[in-house]
Structure 1
Amino acid sequence: MTPPPASALVEDSVPLRTPPGHKLRDLALRDTNVVVISVVLGNLLRAFSSVVLTRLLVPEVFGISGVIASIVFAFGMVSDLGFQAFVVRHPDGDKPRFLDTIWTMAVLRSVILTGAAFMLAPTLAGLFGKPELASLIEVSALVFVIEGFASLTLLTALRHRKVLKLSLIEMAVLVLQILLSFVLAYLWRSYWAILVSMLIGSAFKTSLSYLLFPNSLRKPALDRLYVRELWEFARFVTGSSIITLLLLQSDKFALGSLMSLDDFGFYILAGNLAAAPLAFTTAYASRVLFPTYSQAWRDGEENLRALFYAKRRLPSLLYCFAAGGLIGSAPLVIAVLYDPRYAASAIYLQILAIAPLFALASYAGNETLTATGHIKATFQANVAKLVWFCVAGPAGYALGGVLGLVLAVGLMEIPPVILKWNQMHRLKFLDLRQELLFLAAGGAGIIVGAVGDRLIRPFV
């Protein structure tokens, strides 16, 4: 038998190299990087939208937007059953009977919510001392029934870590909603532009949930076993969500009635900007960390602590540095984005941006505990927040008025972080040195942001 040529042996022994283009593509498509890219693009689009809309609409519109958003959020949180976490974690999460039952429950919830909002709209508008908002509340309630009929493919896709596809869907919906809001704001010059574009965006997302996924259609079903399991799971989720509602909306309900719509609009704009980093924490925690941790727990991974921190180390360092930078550069951000009419938003942004600095530690700890079966963790953390707010909120308002109350809100993530660290320590999931390193990165970001503000703002 004739031996193969030497060149053939060399070629067979040398591993094939991945082309540089493929390496870049693989890097960009990693779930963490997909979340980072989509959140950055989303925040840039929202910032651009805010800049344009503030030039088309008066500040009062953003005050109205804050009131409506608070009411819609309140209804959603009071009835939160934790569908996403339940589907992602459940062993039967891909079975048709299970999905039919959860979809039916979601539809029933949405119909009840819409009806309740319609009936209570005049009363809610009256509580704010703004009865003219009743019709806006009624129309905004349609978002519940629109989103309630969406396919559960949006949840099963998360279960199977199809982060890219989900991110592309959300980006398409956001672009459509922003473009519509521009056109309608130019034509109508009223809050209806924002509300109608929101409803159309929700309808578009619901349509995509059926069009872009196989086996997306569901049929009515109520399996007693699954309903019982959902309720056992949702007891803590619903209780936690109600507390979250009290925590996140109490300041808005109070300030919405105490401030003029113009001043409340400044507060809402600052809150929206401060929430920009939270878009990453929520997406990263729910779409990357929770599915990964849940899978590792189901598979019996031995060194869970090492896996937890390996997954979030670099994103946490970069995120905390950026969140700190927002605190330090808040006046510069307001000066760049808005005209001088909105300068009063800067102090609110600087205070409210403190919470996002601690949010990733809080959210990551929550997903660690929930994925490993400690469902009460979210409820307990929110109780800690509630105790903090009940003590610090009135004290802050008594000592510093509106800014004192806002400061209490800005510091609200610290108590649950301490509680979750204590729980993770008892379960041997905590690496305190790395957690403190993440916060040190945030401190460095504050310094860099403050220096940038002092050097650049005089030229803006």
Structure 2
Amino acid sequence: MPFSNAAQAAETGSPPRPTLTDRIKALALRDTNVVVVAVILNNLLRAVSGMILTRLLVPEVFGISGIIGSIQFTVTLATDLGFQPFVVRHQNGDDPRFLDTVWTAALVRSILLGLTLVALAQPLAMLLEKPELTPVIAASSLTFLFDGLASTTLLTALRRRMVLKLSIIDIAAQVVQIAVSAVLAYFWRSYWAILVGMLSNGAFRMAMSYVAFDDSVRRLRLDRETLRELWSFARYVTGSSIIFLIISQCDKLVLAKMMPLDDFGFYVLAGNLASAPLGFAAAYNTRVLYPAYAQMWREGEADLKARFYARRRVPALLYVFASGGIIGAAPTIVRFLYTARYAEAAVYLQILGISSLLALSSYAAHETLTAVGNARAFLEANTAKLAWLVLAGGIGFLSYGAFGLIVAVGLMELPSLLLRWQRLSTFDLLDLRQELLILAAAPAGIAAGLLVNAIAARILG
């Protein structure tokens, strides 16, 4: 009678061989696969949300929500201290006293941000020549309060590579936001539905940071040495974040002032669709690559270059192919997700999709440089983007108006990527052949997208 795995292990003294079920489970729970599934679910939820809300609300509402999002993003990045990479990389990242100080600093920052946004609500609304936005800008300050009150478990979970649990929380928060927004949009038919949905997302994540993790309660504490190290790390993060917010939000602020709200709503919706692959790029780099790279660096692994590329090669190829597919199939995507009145968003999606296509390679280079201790990498890359935006964006705007500025924004990731490649080369961490091989998947993806357009045109007429 054949032995079971356990019996064989007891007889031979060797560990039992994993069963097929064990291998399937291990494959499903691999960090990269969890991120892929989570991003697919997140984008499906966003698509469903867009299909519902665009049928309940007019384009003007999405222009207003884009303005609110830009203001929040601007205020947040202007005071970014880099809490997440600081905790993930720090040798004492699990020490309670260290975490208490980080949590206290984050809470103080969030309270100050909330009060600042309330005070600036009316001046910002008047600057944008849309005074009716004053109350909604003020109310959006609650998101900072929720962020500040959240436990540091959301940071330590990333350090411990608890990707599955973090992904579940993200998806659940998205479901809550969509449900709240859809119900309120049905009854209210105003931008307040989208804002309250955003607030519900923040409140849910705050609650889960305590409910879903052990040892989640933090205490007010300010350790001088930890604060000194935080500032030493954050001074590059803060400076680069200020530059980043300029380059990432100036187009929205300029276009919000220049364009009618319905046209700006098309641009916002296109930006939301173009950011779909960015969801994977950001999650994969921050939740998979950076923790793994930081651990390799802390443990003194040999041949970091080969290990780094081996870690991301296949996901990067698939990402670039899919991003190219979105560019090629943009008209069909917009037509399928939204009604005919949103067709103009397709051109914006194709332009903005170029930066999304380059993002994974650029972000991965950034995480590599940060993991080996080059905290200036983000600042340098954003400085290159700013220079590009000033020169190319200025020329484009003067020559072709708003459309020229949009084209410059769509190409903005290119100078950043080239600079990061140069910095990787100085650390002997660049394999240019592999980088170009990854980007070579883009034309194939675009061709596949164009084929989808042709097939859809024949079917739909």
Q: Normalising by the residue count of structure 1, what TM-score does the alignment of the two structures yield?
A: 0.97
Whether 1:255 and 2:255 are equivalent positions in the alignment is: yes
Amino acid at match of 1:192: W
Offset of residue 17 of structure 1: 4.4
SS at match of 1:262: helix
Counterpart in 2 of 1:449?
A: 449
Q: Deviations over 1:124-183 (max 9, x none)?
A: 001111011000000001100111110000000000000000000111111111111111
Counterpart in 2 of 1:170?
A: 170
8 Å contact kept, 1:101–1:220 = yes
Counterpart in 2 of 1:75?
A: 75
**CA–CA distance in 1 between the matches of 2:64 and 2:422?**
41
Offset of residue 233 of structure 1: 0.7
**Greater CA drift, 270-279 or 198-207:** 198-207
SS at match of 2:401: helix
**CA–CA distance in 2 between the matches of 1:249 and 1:458?**
39
Whether 1:40 and 2:46 are equivalent positions in the alignment is: no
* Structure 1: runs of 5+ lacking an equivalent: none
Whether 1:356 and 2:385 are equivalent positions in the alignment is: no
**CA–CA distance in 2 between the matches of 1:6 and 1:272?**
57
**CA–CA distance in 2 between the matches of 1:195 and 1:7?**
61
Q: Deviations over 1:264-308 (max 9, x none)?
A: 000000000000100001100000000000000011111000110
CA RMSD across the alignment: 1.6
**CA–CA distance in 1 between the matches of 2:134 and 2:240?**
28
**CA–CA distance in 1 between the matches of 2:182 and 2:280?**
25
Offset of residue 6 of structure 1: 11
Q: Deviations over 1:356-380 (max 9, x none)?
A: 1110011000000000000001100
Counterpart in 2 of 1:291?
A: 291
Offset of residue 447 of structure 1: 1.3
Query: Which 4+ residue blocks in structure 1 deviate beyond 3 angstroms?
Result: 5-8, 10-17
Offset of residue 451 of structure 1: 2.0
**CA–CA distance in 2 between the matches of 1:288 and 1:131?**
43
Counterpart in 2 of 1:22?
A: 22
SS at match of 2:392: helix
Counterpart in 1 of 2:149?
A: 149
Counterpart in 1 of 2:52?
A: 52
1:120-269 alignment, distance < 5 Å: 120-269=120-269
**CA–CA distance in 2 between the matches of 1:331 and 1:125?**
34
Whether 1:391 and 2:391 are equivalent positions in the alignment is: yes
SS at match of 2:440: helix
Identity %: 55
Counterpart in 2 of 1:301?
A: 301
Counterpart in 2 of 1:415?
A: 415
**Greater CA drift, 297-306 or 392-401:** 392-401
Amino acid at match of 1:193: A
Q: Deviations over 1:379-409 (max 9, x none)?
A: 0000000000000001111222222111100
**CA–CA distance in 1 between the matches of 2:385 and 2:162?**
33
Counterpart in 1 of 2:106?
A: 106
8 Å contact kept, 1:327–1:353 = yes
Q: How many residues align?
A: 455
Q: Normalising by the residue count of structure 2, what TM-score does the alignment of the two structures yield?
A: 0.96
8 Å contact kept, 1:335–1:457 = no
Amino acid at match of 2:232: E
Amino acid at match of 1:254: V
**CA–CA distance in 2 between the matches of 1:342 and 1:84?**
37
**CA–CA distance in 2 between the matches of 1:458 and 1:119?**
55
**CA–CA distance in 1 between the matches of 2:147 and 2:436?**
40
Counterpart in 1 of 2:346?
A: 346
SS at match of 1:353: helix
Amino acid at match of 1:67: I
Offset of residue 15 of structure 1: 8.1
Kindly tell me: are residues 94 and 453 of structure 1, through their superposed partners in 2, closer, same or farther at Cα, counting changes over 3 Å? same
**CA–CA distance in 1 between the matches of 2:406 and 2:31?**
35
Offset of residue 347 of structure 1: 0.5
Offset of residue 458 of structure 1: 4.1
Kindly tell me: are residues 123 and 22 of structure 1, through their superposed partners in 2, closer, same or farther at Cα, counting changes over 3 Å? same
**CA–CA distance in 1 between the matches of 2:24 and 2:3?**
31
Q: Deviations over 1:325-350 (max 9, x none)?
A: 11111111111111110011010001
Amino acid at match of 1:145: L
**CA–CA distance in 1 between the matches of 2:427 and 2:102?**
32
Whether 1:85 and 2:85 are equivalent positions in the alignment is: yes
Q: Deviations over 1:217-239 (max 9, x none)?
A: 01101011111111111111011
**CA–CA distance in 2 between the matches of 1:208 and 1:156?**
14
Amino acid at match of 2:184: L
Whether 1:427 and 2:427 are equivalent positions in the alignment is: yes
